[in-house]
Amino acid sequence: MAEDSRASLLARCRAIVGASHVITDQADMAPFMADWRGRYSGRGLAVVLPLDTAQVAAIVTACAAARVPIVPQGGRTGLVMGSVPDLSGDAIVLSLRRLNRIRAIDPANRTMTVEAGCILADIQAAAAYAGMLYPLSLAAEGSCTIGGNLSTNAGGTAVLRYGNTRELCLGLEVVNAQGEVWDGLRGLRKDNTGYALRDLFIGAEGTLGVITAAVLKLYPAPRAALTALVALDSPRHALELLGLLQARCGAALTGFELMSAFCLDLVAAQFPDLPRPFAARHPQYALVELSSNESDQHAHGLLESSVGQALEAGVARDAVVATSQQQALGLWRLREHIPLAQAAAGKNIKHDISLPVSTIPDFIARADAALDQAFPGCQPVTFGHLGDGNLHYNVAPPIGVEHDAFLAHQASVNRIVHDLVDAFGGSISAEHGIGVLKREELARYKSPVELGMMRAIKGALDPLSIMNPGKIL
């Protein structure tokens, strides 16, 4: 790009958002360029921070006229490097963080209209203040933005009951690649008037347009939520427990997380102050959450009788039902500390995979065996959202092997795991998306027919290819 047209675009951006909201100093731009896990740092022409949808539209229009790529950015907490620019230095990073207004709450419609830059935790809090629940919940909720959640169709721990971010959104406002504003902010439960544009922009990782606002679904806040930790013989027993709880509890089952013994060993070693609910070590654990709109007593009765049945039937080995909010938090803390314990213990090779729930016991057995054959003694760190078929199947080095030496085998480990995922009809990215990190894996595992249709859509909606280029496709 010629120096003078670059200067003219930046002048236009300053005119649109104000000079103080166009950052071009390298040091000031640095925090917007870096992958937060420190794997990578890109380069950009500028960081632009618009205040509202009209400004976003004007910026996109200016960039389209100048053929300058745009990298939309939210809380920059993604795991696949989808919201940072490449090394060319050609792109504008469009930070949505100033679009952070909650525009409306409609309790009788059970909806909330929010701007893309709203922090997820603030949305949860606003819903709670109105006596409602916005169920999306994930580790980064204190800093991720809803625009990013929507653009990556974020998952989290409540998918079993409430679905992914896509299912929690009724309408969108989007600035498309031509800089036009699409007002699709509909708060409707039923609307069959043409193609599912909403669902297309959700999960598109900013490659088709910029989400600027959304109508979110709210739910009545449950009156009670109870937690239990259940000790199990095997993943197959976990699957049986899941089936038993779903049949007995229906939608009251709001969480079902699997953790292997090795995961809790890691947590115990790194965080000795956390609770140790069982005296004995068990092969597998399920963290179960039950919610009730009726009463604490109802949830208690249902959880105790269900867990009791699982124990009697030999599905479960042992169980602890939390009798206080604090005990419940302690049990959840075990689950939440697995990633931290992994990080503290040293790097491992991560996978965010999903499978048909019914195949998970077989998958784990086959993957464990294949990895052990290729890398004897390597240590799978198997945990995840079993109820959704979503495993974080990570692989730590054999005892005595340096972490960095093991990480040199990342490509071979990925190949073993992802080939098996593919053979089982699974997904190589359950909830993190594709970004840059999994682009080559996507090209490997998606059929040419599907890739062809995705490219046709990208070409149709972003013919100049300025929206987050190099991501997904």
CA nearest to 323, candidates 315, 335, 331: 331
Please say which residue, 97 or 110, places its beta carbon nearer to its own copies: 110
- Cβ distance 64 to 467 under 8 Å? no
Residue 160 or 266 having the CB closest to its own copies: 160
Q: Residue 24 CB, nearest distance to its own copies (Å)?
A: 31
C-beta of residue 203 within 8 angstroms of C-beta of residue 151: yes
Dig out the tokens for 450 from the structure: 């599907």
Sheet holding 390-396, edge to edge: 318-321, 224-232, 284-292, 253-260, 379-385, 390-396, 352-354
- CA–CA gap between residue 41 and residue 218 (Å, rounded): 37
CB of 132 to its own copies, least distance (A): 9
CB of 49 to its own copies, least distance (A): 24
Element (H, E) at 217: strand 209-217
- Closest distance between its own copies and the C-beta of residue 207, in Å? 9
* CB nearer its own copies, residue 37 or residue 403: 37
Is residue 211 within 8 Å of 201, Cβ to Cβ?
yes
> Which residues of 245-356 form beta strands (DSSP E)?
253-260, 284-292, 318-321, 352-354
Least spacing, CB of residue 47 vs its own copies, in Å: 26
For 249-277, b/e burial (b = at least 16 CB within 10 A) is beebbbbbbbbbebbbebbbebeeebbeb
| Shorter beta-carbon distance to its own copies: residue 150 or 322 | 150
CB of 240 to its own copies, least distance (A): 9
Q: Which of 403, 383, 385, 305 is nearest to 337 (CA)?
A: 383
What whole-number distance in Å separates Cα of residue 319 and Cα of residue 287?
10
CB of 136 to its own copies, least distance (A): 13
Question: Between 281 and 455, whose beta carbon lies closer to its own copies?
Answer: 455
* Beta partners for residue 307, in sequence order: none
Residue with tokens 């930046």: 10
Instruction: Kindly state the DSSP code that residue 20 receives in the 8-state scheme.
Output: G
Whichever of 330 and 387 has its CB closer to its own copies, that residue is: 387
Neighbours of 39 (CB within 10 A): 11
Question: CB-wise, 231 or 249, nearer to its own copies?
Answer: 249
Q: What does the alpha-carbon distance between residue 85 and residue 77 come to, in Å, rounded to a whole number?
A: 14
In the complex, minimum distance from the CB of residue 438 to its own copies, in angstroms, rounded to a whole number: 8
The minimum distance between CB 153 and its own copies, in angstroms, equals 5
62 and 123 in contact (C-beta within 8 Å)?
no
Q: How far apart are CA 157 and CA 316, in angstroms?
A: 22
What are the backbone angles phi and psi of residue 14, rounded to the nearest 5°?
-65, -40
Q: Which is nearer to its own copies, 13 or 252 (CB)?
A: 252
Query: What's the closest the beta carbon of residue 271 comes to its own copies, in angstroms?
Result: 28
- By C-beta, is 344 or 460 nearer to its own copies? 460
CB nearer its own copies, residue 334 or residue 430? 430
